[in-house]
């Protein structure tokens, strides 16, 4: 029997205990003619990573759930409309100019399409040496040693990549080089946005194993963003499930994968999909479908439209996030008791 506790409320939290503390982040985007009407692409999303122990944290959800938007906010590429992001106790949107470079060394990212990361006219190694020059400010000899050591960490070497351009590498090798570039500064946090979804299934495990090495050998925490629950289970320590900008379930992978509580997580598990590498998926879907927008705008549970357990209350009121057994959380009226509804 599950022990149900009260709604999770973040009150006075000591952000000093966390590497990353995302606190009720909300982001509005425009839609419709001229983009004048607004929807919440992220709705009070909170998550955290501990300071002491490196973690592989999986952020999972289907296309359009807000995963990339959240990563872009953590990277300071866009600002949230509400909420805060703390990194090593600092509010990342209030960094002093002298701290911005530090943050770029500490928090690095790799993206879905390695072919978009590199310019076909430039040599691959120039990207790595740029990082050593601008973010690490080290000399040529030291940089060469560091670049070689880092490329070897991902299964390549400086000799193998020197002077070459992207057409001379496979997608898997390019993604390894993207990881090498990202870990060159020895960041404490690596954000990986669907990094294996465009690779052949046979190559995915190798790349995912590098993320495990990054966590275990470099002691770097990783936020791995995916819509693929099978790879999530393979690498993750913890996970959070997003649906239409709302965090619907979170907890350790063991709990969430083996005993999913939220009907959307159950659906994800029942339909473990092969990632779609169709070219259309590479383009960000800025134009929202009417079903998507209806779900984003509903005052009730965003999943009500598709949920087999929907009740009239689900359509009217958004469920709160409920802690279950102190170890996991779920946002669904099925898990509330009459005392806290």
Ligand X SMILES: Nc1ncnc2c1ncn2[C@@H]1O[C@H](COP(=O)(O)OP(=O)(O)O)[C@@H](O)[C@H]1O
Give the interface with ligand X as residue ranges (CB under 6 A).
29-30, 41, 61, 63-69, 284-286, 288, 292
Distance (Å, whole) CA 282 – CA 292: 19
- In the block, which residue shows the tokens 């790595």? 128
For ligand SF4, the closer of residues 19 and 307 by Cβ is 307
Do the Cβ atoms of 45 and 22 come closer than 8 Å?
A: yes
DSSP single-letter state for residue 156: -
CB of 319 to ligand SF4, least distance (A): 4
Q: Which residues contact 116 (CB under 8 A, 6 or more apart)?
A: 282
Q: Applying CB under 5 A, which residues contact Mg ion? A: 67-68
61 binds, among ligand SF4, ligand X, Mg ion, none (CB under 5 to 8 A by kind): ligand X
57 binds, among ligand X, Mg ion, ligand SF4, none (CB under 5 to 8 A by kind): none
Distance (Å, whole) CA 87 – CA 189: 10
CB of 119 to ligand X, least distance (A): 23
Q: Applying CB under 6 A, which residues contact ligand SF4? A: 263, 301, 303-304, 307, 309-310, 314, 319, 332-334
For ligand SF4, the closer of residues 98 and 270 by Cβ is 270
What CA–CA distances, in Å, run from 7 to 49, 210, 262, 264, 322?
20, 37, 16, 20, 5
DSSP string, 74-131: HTTSS--SEEEEEETTEEGGG--HHHHHHHHHHEEEE-S-HHHHS-TTS-HHHHHHHH
CB of 316 to ligand SF4, least distance (A): 10
CB of 263 to ligand X, least distance (A): 19
For ligand X, the closer of residues 59 and 208 by Cβ is 59
For ligand SF4, the closer of residues 128 and 330 by Cβ is 330
Q: Tell how far CA 47 is from the center of its chain.
A: 11
332 binds, among ligand X, ligand SF4, Mg ion, none (CB under 5 to 8 A by kind): ligand SF4
CB of 71 to ligand SF4, least distance (A): 25
263 binds, among ligand SF4, ligand X, Mg ion, none (CB under 5 to 8 A by kind): ligand SF4
């Amino acid at each position: 029997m599950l022990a149900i506790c009260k709604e999770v409320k973040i009150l006075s939290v000591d952000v000093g205990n966390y590497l990353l503390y995302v606190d009720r982040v909300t982001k509005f985007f425009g839609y419709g003619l001229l983009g004048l009407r607004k929807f919440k692409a992220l709705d009070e999303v909170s998550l955290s990573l501990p300071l002491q122990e490196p973690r592989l944290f999986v952020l999972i959800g289907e296309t359009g759930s807000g995963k990339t938007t959240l990563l872009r906010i953590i990277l300071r590429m866009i600002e949230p409309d509400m909420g805060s992001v703390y990194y090593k106790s600092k509010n990342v949107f209030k960094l002093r100019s002298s701290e911005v470079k530090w943050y770029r060394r500490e928090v690095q990212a790799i993206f879905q399409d390695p072919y978009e990361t590199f310019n076909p006219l430039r040599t691959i190694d120039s990207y790595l040496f740029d990082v050593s020059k601008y973010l690490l400010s080290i000399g040529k000899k030291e940089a060469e040693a560091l670049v070689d050591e880092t490329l070897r960490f991902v299964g390549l070497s400086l000799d193998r990549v020197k002077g070459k351009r992207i057409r001379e590498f496979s997608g898997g090798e390019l993604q390894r080089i993207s990881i090498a570039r990202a870990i060159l500064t020895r960041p404490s946090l690596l954000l990986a946005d669907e990094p294996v979804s465009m690779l052949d299934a046979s190559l995915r495990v190798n790349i995912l194993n590098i993320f495990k090495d990054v966590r275990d050998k470099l002691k770097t925490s990783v936020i791995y963003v995916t819509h693929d629950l099978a790879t999530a289970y393979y690498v993750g320590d913890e996970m959070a499930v997003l649906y239409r900008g709302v965090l619907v379930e979170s907890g350790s992978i063991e709990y969430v994968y083996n005993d999913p509580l939220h009907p959307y997580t159950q659906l994800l598990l029942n339909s473990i999909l092969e990632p779609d590498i169709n070219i259309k998926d590479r383009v960000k879907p800025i134009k929202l479908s009417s079903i998507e927008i209806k779900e984003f705008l509903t005052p009730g549970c965003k999943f009500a439209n598709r949920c087999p357990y929907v009740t009239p209350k689900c359509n009217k009121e958004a469920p709160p996030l409920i802690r279950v057994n102190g170890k996991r959380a779920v946002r669904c009226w099925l898990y509330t008791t009459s005392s806290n509804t």
